[in-house]
Each structure stands twice: as C-alpha cells, then as structure tokens.
Structure 1
Amino acid sequence: MYTERPSRLPGAALWTGDGSGRVLPDGCMDLLWHEERLLVAGPDTRAHVPASTPGTWTGLRFAPGSAPAFLGVPAHELRDRRVQLADLWPLPEVRRLRGRIARAADPATALEDLALERAAPTDPVLRALVAALDAGRPVAVTADEIGLGARQLHRRSLVAFGYGPKTLARILRLRRALALAGAGVPFAATAARCGFADQAHLARDVRELAGVPLGRLLAVG
C-alpha cells in the first residue's frame, strides 16, 4: 500500500508505504521515517529494490535539486545510497528530532514541518534547468539558455542532483515515458513523443534504469 499527497513545501510530496516495491530514479531525494529512525534516500541512478522491512515508512520527497540545501551535503555524496540522518547531522540534534516526530500525531506532517523550518529557496537556475529538461529540451541548448557553460552546469548538477545534466534528462524522459505508456499510449508512440530514437531505444533505457522490461514494469504498477 502506498499513498501520496502534495506538501506545503514547494514541489515536494509526502508519502506513506510499506517499504515494498521498486523505487525508480526520479531526480529527487527523500527524508524518511521508519521505526523511529530518520534516514535519507540519496538520488538514484537506477532502480532501488528495498530489502523486506516490517512496519510503515513515511517520507518527504523533495523537489529535484532542493534537498542538498536542507541537508548541507552535496547530492553526489549520497548517490545510490540510503544513510542515517545521524551520519550527516550532529547526533544530539537528530535525537531531538526523532523524539519530536515520534510524539507527533502524523509523522508525515512532522517531517514536513521540519523541512519547512530548515529548507532554503530553490535556486531559480536549478528550477529552470529541471523545467527545461523535463520538457525535453536538449542539455546543450538548455545550458545556453540559462547562461551556464558545460563544465559549470555539470558541477552544479552534481551538487544539486547527484549526477550530470545528461543523466537527469534521461531520468526525467523515462518518467514522461512511463506516464504516457501507463495511460495507454502505444510504446512506439510513447518513444516518439518522448524523444527516443525508436521503441527499441525506449526499451533499453527502461531496462537500464528500471531493471525490468517496460511491459512488466507497467503490469506491476
């Protein structure tokens, strides 16, 4: 079981689930609450299949590029990792926050309140980058439009997203494709509309990023 709702934090979402299922790359990072532990899910470059763990998981999924300012840690240091928040912040502070969330009537709202207290505004350049890539704009064209050289764009992307802009664009393209295919658009038409060379190209990207064929992924979803 998995439920999600928008957060008061711009671009973020709150979710609750049982910790099962395949977690696909999405350009985001999450603050997690499970069994009175605070954890951080770093940016994924491939599907993450959680180990079977009992109990309810609660999470705040930050908007792409916004979590590093909250955490004080560059995203690339957490790429494809799940870590304890106490590995990033002072232990006394984390203990205090754990107690606060444990006492809360709704852990999701408590996570949201914490993020609202500490979050910094998202860099408008990063917002523009995500919007352009999510719309299918080429990386080179986007870099010119936002006034960044290729090396500077790559460095800033590593800090904000955990990987370079080409990987981010590929992940966002996959998300668009899954939304279309999941809505019943034929795979060939999905590939064409999302900028893949052909249906075979779409199939390769799905296998590499999601770890399973597109048909199986949609059937599970």
Structure 2
Amino acid sequence: MAEVVSGYRERRSRLADAVVWTNTNITGTTALPVLPDGCMDLLWSDGRLLVAGPDTRAYPADGRVGTRWVGIRFAPGYAPALLGVPAHELRNRRVELAELWPAATARRFAEQVGAARDQPAALEAIALRRAYDTEPPDPVLRRIVGALDAGWSVAATAEAAGLGARVLHRRSLAAFGYGPKTLARILRLQRALAVARSGVPLADTAFRTGFADQAHLARDVRELAGMPLSELLARS
C-alpha cells in the first residue's frame, strides 16, 4: 500500500479571518493528522460538501492517494453564524452540508464546485454569498479568542468581555464548540508548535507559551495531537 503525503496549499480568503486551501494526497510519507486549532471548515471532495466541526483531538488525515480536498477554514467563532448551527453540535464531527442546509441547496452547491475550473474560488463564492445574507459574528467573540490566545485566564477573559463565567461558558460552547478552558488549551498548543517549529528549544518554548515546563508541553501534545512531541516536530 502506498504511503501518502499532503500536497497542501492555502491563501487568504476574501472572507474575514478565513483561509482557502487545497490538499491533494500524493505518494510520499504518511500525512499528519489534522490537529485541533479551534477552527471549523467547509469542505468539498468527491462531489460532496461537508463541514468539519471544531476538534478536541487529532483527526486522521484522508489516506487515499490522489484524493483532492478543497476547503475554507474559518477562524474560531465565525462559522456557526454562517452555517446556522451551534459549534458544539459539530464537535469532533464531519457532517454532510445537506444535514445542516436544505438537501437540494447543498447538492446544487456541490455540483457547482465540482464543475468549476477554479474549485477553491467556487467554494469561496458560496461562502461569500452566505455571509452576505448572514449577520456577522458578535465582536465579543474576537475579544474572547484574543484574550485566551494571549494567555489570559478564563476569569480575566470573562471580565474583559463583560460576561459572567456561566455566560462566557455558554457563549463559548455555541461559538467555539467547547468551553473557554479547552479553547485556551488548544490555542496554547498551536502557539507552542509555531514557536518550536521556528527552532526555539523545547524548554524555552514551554516557558514562552504558558506551560509549567517541558513535560507539561509534552503531555498536552500527546493528548491533543495523539503522538509524542518529538515525532510531531520531526514530521512537521
């Protein structure tokens, strides 16, 4: 059986805080799983439109050689308003868009993307039209993400957002798919990986990104990414 590697490309979307990407599996080394990042994606592949909900654990990559994926990755908190479904209902799930929107509409959009010469642009156009008819996300969501990504405590984040702890938790479930503590942990992991991949020693990486020590960083990577830190960095 052939091994696969991700032929991944991305660009910034015309949608605010979104990225348009393509991924085609080609022969090579085994592709990394999709790591939790707080985001949600609208996906097209093999004539189907799907939604990738927010993950709390690594999601296996598609191992079929030659399979092409086209996607739009929405920043944390953006997709639920666009899709019309609370994020927690899609946590750790990949669902057909037809389960969320009228089936005929989803099928027509999937056919449009499949027939397009520029499939990423066609998928982006669908999302843009939907965004035009949808109320934008509450600005407080951006403040919540910014505070947690800066390493603020949940209590400090709630105060900065002008929300009580219970309201913050409820709003976070609907917008991000999980509570603020989990979102903070996932954002911290992504910060740490970015720093480590730049060549910073792991002990310094842990200190800079809010972990108690290198062992704490290693535990979080194993729990959230499903593999040892050394293996993840070697394959990145």
TM-score by length of 1: 0.97
**Structure 1, unaligned runs of 5 or more:** none
Q: Which has the higher strand share?
A: 2
Residue 41 (structure 1) aligned to one of 52, 56, 61: 52
Percent identical residues: 66
Residue 149 (structure 2) aligned to one of 129, 134, 153: 134
Q: Does 1:172 align with 2:184?
A: no
Q: Give the stretch that moved more between structures: 102-111 or 211-220.
A: 102-111
**Quick one: which amino acid aligns to residue 96 of structure 2?**
Q
Aligned-pair distance for 1:132?
1.0
Aligned-pair distance for 1:7?
0.6
Identify the residue that residue 209 of structure 1 maps to in structure 2: 224
Q: Give the stretch that moved more between structures: 134-143 or 17-26.
A: 17-26
Q: Give the stretch that moved more between structures: 23-32 or 47-56.
A: 47-56
Which aligned runs of 4 or more in structure 1 are off by greater than 3 angstroms? none
Identify the residue that residue 146 of structure 1 maps to in structure 2: 161
Matches within 5 A, 1:40-119: 40-53=51-64, 54-119=66-131
The DSSP-based 3-state class of the residue aligned with 1:18 is: strand
Q: Deviations over 1:59-98 (max 9, x none)?
A: 0001110101111111101100011111111111112111
**Cα RMSD between the aligned structures?**
1.1
Aligned residue-pair number: 221
Q: Deviations over 1:148-204 (max 9, x none)?
A: 011100001000110000000000000000000000000000000111111110010
Matches within 5 A, 1:6-21: 6-18=12-24, 20-21=31-32
TM-score by length of 2: 0.91
Question: In 2, distance between residues paired with 1:55 and 1:206?
Answer: 28
Aligned-pair distance for 1:50?
2.8
1:51–1:100 Cα change, 3 Å: closer
**Structure 2, unaligned runs of 5 or more:** 1-6, 26-30
Aligned-pair distance for 1:51?
4.2
